[in-house]
Amino acid sequence: KLAGHPLVGEVRGVGLVAGLELVPDKPGRGTFDPLGSAGALFVQRAQANGLIVRNLQDTVALCPPLIISEGEVEEMLRRFGTALEETTAALGRR
Residue pLDDT, tens place only, 49-78: 999 999 999 999 999 999 999 999 999 999
pTM: 0.89
The torsion region of residue 36 among left (phi > 0), alpha (psi -120 to 50) and beta comes to left
30 touches 77 (CB < 8 A): no
Under DSSP, the state recorded for 34 is S
Query: Which residues have C-beta within 8 Å of that of residue 85, sequence separation ≥ 6?
Result: none
